[in-house]
Chain A
Amino acid sequence: MSSTTTESLSSREPAPSPAGPASRNAKRPHPGPTFFRVLHSEIIKFRSLLSTLILLASTAVVMVGFGALSAWGTGQFTNAATRDPQAAARMASQGGDLAISAPTSGIAFAQLILGSLGVLLMSSEFTTGMARSTFAAVPKRIPAFAAKLVVVMVTSFVVTAVSTWLAGLVAVPILDNYGLKLDMGSSQSVKLLLVNSIYVAAVAAIGMALGTLLRNSAGGIMSLVGIFFVAPLAFQLIPGDFFKEARKYLPGNTVEPLTAVQHVPDTLEAWQAGMVLGAWVVVPVLLAAVLLKRRDV
């Protein structure tokens, strides 16, 4: 039964019927990998690995933990400062600034965990041999890559946003103890939550591109650490204006200008930072897609 179906379809493929593909699809469902089917497949693959679920849960735990620690630290700091009247004046404004960033204080770790998840989701395809099954089922390859990218970015965004919100829920009563107010509904809080979540989704995309290019878990994660942790430090330590300037263009330094209330000296303008972060995602992802299409699996 199905053999006759496949035969008739394959014989029509080289010369589509004059009615065109649209009307043909309307009559009979597409037999092969449409984007939504490939996306569905990638979701099944994503949720059927215990390791990914553990990484997602640990992101939430780390974000909430750092949110609570940061709220407590800010409270202690403000408390100590109020005994010194001069510092108290300064703290009055700054204390609020510190409090508002408490929910996102664990973001450096969230980006490391979810960025590594991005690397692993693609590199493990190659290290386990799964890639041969994946790309035999989707030989055009790009739909599978795009579907995985959607899964990685959406998950990273949602997990970061939810974790930040949970961290805020935990931080509010702690700050309240020290007489500091944090309004999770304020526009600045919402902005911090959204920008940081987009940022982590971007880091996960960069991770996935690295995993695709290097096909190696350790190499991909080390490159990620290099870009987000080592380079900012190294650029700071190397003397010279070039590195001072270049440091602004590292992806990790785009969040501050994007979330600042006023422009901070020695950082990019918000629109520039947005472009830079975008370029950090688009360039590696396109390179990874082109090479994935061309290289042998």
Chain B
Amino acid sequence: MIEANGLTKVYGAKTAVAGVSFTVKAGQVTGFLGPNGAGKSTTMRMIMGLDRPTSGSVTVNGLPYVRHQAPLRQVGALLDAKAVHTSRSAYNHLLAMAATHGIPKARVHEVIEMTGLEAVARKKAGGFSLGMGQRLGIAAALLGDPQTLILDEPVNGLDPEGVVWVRNLVRYLAGQGRTVFLSSHLMSEMAQTADHLIVIGRGRVIADAPIKDIITGKGQSRVRVRTDQPDRLHQLLTQRGASIDEPERELLEVTGLEPKTIAAAALENQVMVYELTPLVASLEEAYMELTKDDVEYHSLPAAEVSK
């Protein structure tokens, strides 16, 4: 079980993760979906104690990762297929990792066999294809036979056979009662692998629901709000955990709050609202929207430069 509470990471002027809270439960595959740059990898590095949160906290099986007595036996992670010294062989890489926890050589051979790396295990990891690198990363994650697995974009660069292999592997591991948390920027991949989905965009959680609810549109509550005080309402709703888009002046598209909560917030603070419409959209649609916004967001500085 992974529990994040108000997890925030700020790099200089950029907020990569903005107060994210979620729970990843054991016995199911939880997908972590978001466009590139949404904060998925940063969140995963914070879970693994590699990046220090600016604020907030995250625990794995009740303890911060750093405080576990045998971290590799608790959590296995594939954070980056290139988290390997390029001049070292795959076998020696795994052997050195295993040595830190007194994991026997037999287990190293076992994970090499499980991931189909026998033929290249003695070759330098720097010469590996992206797919082979992913398999080596997964092998390293499995070394300690951990209760929790964190896989950042595991199917990236894999051939179709490899994609199916990862899908079956994570389903099998979750079936054994383990916690599996896996990220992707591909909605279609998630639909086939995950039981539960956490969607993240621009460092905020946009949706957190079982995959079947999301596919039927139930998990998605977006509300269109028109008001003559958009800035004030924006602030009020953000405080209540909403994620907000402003497609035009005086129009807010609010995700993550019920219409009733929005109306109550406006009433309490005497903000006039002249439209309040619940929107039903499939996740695919919402996700495409999000990705589009993300691209626009990136191009904004360039537009500012030309002003």
Question: What is A's interface to B at a CB cutoff of 8 Å?
Answer: 2-3, 5-7, 9-10, 13-14, 29-34, 37-38, 40-42, 44-45, 48-51, 124-125, 128-133, 135-140, 144, 294, 296-297
Contact = CB atoms under 8 A, between A and B. Distances in A.
Given A29-B102, A49-B88, A125-B85, A13 B67 contact: yes
B96 interface: yes
B212 interface: no
A44 B68 contact: no
A50 to B, nearest CB: 7
B198 interface: no
Nearest to B52: A296
Interface in B138-163: 140, 145-147
A10 B83 contact: no
A132 B83 contact: yes
A15 B12 CA distance: 38
A214 B82 CA distance: 20
B144 to A, nearest CB: 8
Contacts of B147: 3, 6-7
B87 interface: yes
A57 to B, nearest CB: 16
Nearest to B79: A132
B272 interface: no
Given A38-B100, A45-B88, A297-B50, A137 B80 contact: no
Interface centre among B66, B73, B176 (most CB of A within 10 A): B73
A33 B52 CA distance: 21
A31 B73 contact: yes
B235 interface: no
B291 interface: no
Given A37-B100, A45-B96, A133-B84, A32 B52 contact: no
A153 to B, nearest CB: 19
Across chains A and B, which 10 residue pairs bring their CB atoms closest together, nearest first?
A: A32-B70, A48-B92, A31-B70, A41-B99, A132-B83, A44-B96, A130-B85, A296-B51, A297-B50, A139-B66
Q: What is the size category of the interface that chain B forms with chain A?
A: 35 or more
A40 B83 contact: no
Interface stretch (B57-65, B200-208, B245-253): B57-65
A71 B212 CA distance: 82
Contact of A136 (B71, B86, B99, B145): B71
Given A6-B147, A44-B99, A30 B79 contact: no
Interface in B79-126: 79-80, 82-89, 92-93, 95-97, 99-102, 126
A50 B87 contact: yes
A90 to B, nearest CB: 52
Contacts of A140: 66
Given A32-B73, A136-B50, A136-B77, A41 B100 contact: yes
Contacts of A40: 99
Contacts of B67: 13
Contacts of A294: 52
A37 B98 CA distance: 9
Interface in B164-196: 176-178
A136 B84 contact: no
